[in-house]
Amino acid sequence: MDVFWALPPVSRTITAGAVVVSALGYSGMIDLSSYVFAQRYLVTLKTVPQLWRLVTPFLITKPKFSILLDPYFLYQYGSGLETESTRFSQPGDFFIYTAFICAVVVRHIAVTVPGIEEDYPCTVHSPVIRKKLRGCGGVTMLAQNYILSSPSLSMSIVNLPNLKATAGFMLQSAIFLQALSLAFAYTYAQDNPTRQVSFFIITFDAKYLPFAMLFLTFIIDGPGSAMTQATGLVAAHLFDFLTRIWPTFGGGRNYIFTPMVVKRWFGARPGAAQARGYGTAFQGRGNEADNATRAPGFNQRGPGRRLGD
């Protein structure tokens, strides 16, 4: 446990959650259909919105060997960013980055992937073929020519691990862990473009890593999963544009920052030192910290003099 708590907080939490939720789901101990992304259960007035579906889709891996492989990629590049990247030098910075990535991925899927005609009576521009599958508990599948990721799951799914023939297809747009892993890998590659990384048995520069991951997903799971995973790359590039490219080269302002309350969640204290991969970072002292540590009557700011006077 001491080793676990010594790991980077955000990366260890997401990775541990992914292993636990996926293992319980694919072993049949919990019903994963209650945790995947389903927009019709989030935006609804008929029942209480199931808000946990905004988080849990990022904790569900693909079945079989992916239960080990997906968390490995997630932690490998997530922890590398959390401990080494100069982008996230202050406590809570990596948490805000992760929250931004998840928000963009969920927003993209929610806009581009419709559910059924009743949910979107005015937005379906292509005919939908509704096919009833026998022997799958009355599961309704939606097939569209132009949709590259599958629709939300039906309420009639009661035992997701038993849907051997259809689970792979339906989960392509209902879980986003691979999109989050690709976002971590893309940002990691931006920070370390020439670092050598090993991808299975191949070694190459890190700048090619995101495209290698996308290509592997395309080969194994098809274009639908690859397009869903690519939303992570789009989200990571948008974060890079808004926080680095636009403020540096476009003269704009960076509106994405870490609130003080989030910094305190992650143990930020004035003057506290943090061991980083590139050295030691010190938390800056604010006015409140200065007032608390200085003696009463002490003049905090001198009159100021020119250098040499």
* pLDDT single digits (tens) 32-51: 988 988 878 887 888 888 89
Residue 154 covered by a domain: no
Predicted local distance difference test score (pLDDT) of residue 6:
87
Query: What is the distance between the alpha carbons of residues 212 and 215, in angstroms, rounded to a whole number?
Result: 5
8-state DSSP, 140: E
pTM: 0.69
Cα–Cα distances in angstroms (integers) from residue 142 to residues 39, 277, 301, in the given order = 15, 48, 68
- Say which CATH number the domain at 238 has: 1.20.1540.10
Whether residue 227 contacts residue 105, with contact meaning beta carbons closer than 8 Å, is answered with no
Predicted local distance difference test score (pLDDT) of residue 173:
66
Dig out the tokens for 284 from the structure. Answer: 């800056």
Provide the β-strand partners of residue 105: none
CA 279 to chain CA centroid, Å, is 26
How many C-beta atoms lie closer than 10 Å to residue 119's C-beta? 15
Residue 71 covered by a domain: yes
Whether residue 240 contacts residue 232, with contact meaning beta carbons closer than 8 Å, is answered with no
Predicted local distance difference test score (pLDDT) of residue 208:
94
Predicted local distance difference test score (pLDDT) of residue 231:
92
Q: What is the pLDDT of residues 65-120, one digit of tens each?
A: 888 889 999 999 999 999 999 999 888 999 999 999 999 998 766 544 444 434 43
Within 129-257, where are the H helices?
Answer: 167-170, 177-191, 209-221, 223-240, 246-249
Residue 152 covered by a domain: no
Confidence at 133, pLDDT banded by 50, 70, 90? very low
Residue 284 covered by a domain: no
Dig out the tokens for 5 from the structure. Answer: 């708590």
**What's the domain range around 22?**
2-114+168-267
Q: Is residue 291 scored above 70 in pLDDT?
A: no
Query: Strand pairing of 196-199 and 202-205?
Result: antiparallel
Residue 132 covered by a domain: no
Query: Strand pairing of 140-143 and 279-282?
Result: unpaired
Q: How many CA atoms lie within 13 A of 265 on its CB side?
A: 12
Predicted local distance difference test score (pLDDT) of residue 134:
37
Map residue 254 onto helix, strand or coil: coil
Q: How many CA atoms lie within 13 A of 93 on its CB side?
A: 15
Residue 239 covered by a domain: yes
Q: What is the pLDDT of residues 171-228, one digit of tens each?
A: 346 889 999 999 999 999 999 999 999 888 889 999 999 999 999 999 988 888 888 8
Q: Is residue 29 scored above 50 in pLDDT?
A: yes
Which is more confident, 221 or 134?
A: 221
Residue 277 covered by a domain: no
Map residue 121 onto helix, strand or coil: coil
Residue 282 covered by a domain: no
Predicted local distance difference test score (pLDDT) of residue 207:
93
Identify how many contiguous H helices and E strands the chain contains and give both numbers.
11, 6
Whether residue 243 contacts residue 87, with contact meaning beta carbons closer than 8 Å, is answered with yes
The total of structural domains in the chain comes to: 1
Which is more confident, 232 or 172?
A: 232
* Mean pLDDT confidence for 142-157: 32
Please enumerate in sequence order all residues whose Cβ is within 8 A of that of 56, keeping only pairs 6 or more positions apart, or say none. 21, 35, 36
Query: What is the distance between the alpha carbons of residues 169 and 172, in angstroms, rounded to a whole number?
Result: 6
Q: Is residue 151 scored above 60 in pLDDT?
A: no
Q: Over pLDDT 70: what percentage of the chain?
A: 65
Q: Is residue 136 scored above 60 in pLDDT?
A: no
Confidence at 301, pLDDT banded by 50, 70, 90? very low
Whether residue 72 contacts residue 63, with contact meaning beta carbons closer than 8 Å, is answered with no
Three-state SS sequence of 84-114: HCHHHCCCCHHHHHHHHHHHHHHHHHHHHCC
Please enumerate in sequence order all residues whose Cβ is within 8 A of that of 255, keeping only pairs 6 or more positions apart, or say none. 242
